[in-house]
Amino acid sequence: MPELPEVETTRRGVAPLLTGRAFTGAVLRQPRLRWPIDPELAERLTGRRVRQVARRAKYLLIELDDGATLIIHLGMSGSLRHLPADTPPERHDHVDLLLGEHCLRYRDPRRFGAILYCPGPVELHPLLVKLGPEPLSDDFDGEVLFAACRGKIAPIKTVLMDNHVVVGVGNIYANEALFAAGVRPTRPAGQVSREECQRLAAAIRATLLRAIEAGGSTLRDFTDAIGKPGYFQQHYAVYGRDGLPCHACATLVQHTRLGQRSSFYCPHCQT
């Protein structure tokens, strides 16, 4: 599933291609994604100019000049490509957002993503209104994390992936940040100290920033807006490395499952 770095990589790729441009329509080949696409999307978008392309958690927000916003979620397998509008569509190319001779094409083999038209204040949309702070913003730090962990018996990794606590810290990057901070993913969150929360918040920020700079991870068919894959998977410390020696101490990386998600850790470096 594309996580925050993949979504931010996509945002950075499409923003300069869309900002200031006016949509000339839309083509819906498959309107049934996770939620049905507004059948009047083409009419709503035609003539509307893109004010900016933002991101909230794993949602792309294409903000229009009339105050409306197009919310795009890539789901498990979605991607956006900027292409000539006459490029023949392939099987899973479900939506084209037209920009004259070019288009922004949405591809989603599993159809778990979403394209939603929000006519009012986007921050009040049901998908966004209860989200926690952004991990790369000044609203999130070790003190915020420490307060959120108090009294919780859930594993710290599960808490990190709770979008009410902090948004966008998905499975891969939670594993990597916990390793960098020296905290075992199975530790009850309430037992993580203030100092460890400070290290962990800093590790989350550093891990996500490094992943963004690497263009995210290539997860199955993830590519950015011009078709370039991400490369952060070449730098994984623990994710997917069960049975292999830890880069830091040579102890074999262990694997367990938390909340139906695979978790990886070094039993020597993480306590």
Catalytic (active-site) positions:
2-3, 58, 261
> Which candidate, 244, 187, 226, 233, places its Cα nearest to that of 207?
233
Contact 11, 63 (CB under 8 A): no
Helices (H), the chain: 4-18, 41-45, 142-149, 156-160, 171-181, 194-213
63: nearest Cα among 55, 73, 53, 75: 53
**What is the rounded CA–CA span in Å between residue 192 and residue 200?**
10
Which residues fall within 8 angstroms of residue 107, CB to CB, at 6 or more apart? 78, 79, 80, 81, 90, 92, 93, 94
The whole-angstrom distance between residue 165's C-alpha and the CA centroid of its chain comes to 15
| Amino acid at site 196 | E
92 assigned binding-site residue? yes
271/193 Cα distance (integer angstroms): 12
H or E segment and range at residue 85? none
**Binding site annotation covers 111?**
no
Which stretches does DSSP call E strand in 149-223?
Answer: none
> Per the annotation, does 164 bind a ligand?
no
Cα(205)–Cα(100) distance, integer angstroms? 38
CB 166 within 8 A of CB 204: yes
Question: Cα torsion for 100, 49, 223, 85, to the nearest 10°?
Answer: -10
Q: Could you list the residues known to form a binding site for DNA, using ranges.
A: 92, 110, 152
Q: Could you list the residues known to form a binding site, using ranges.
A: 92, 110, 152
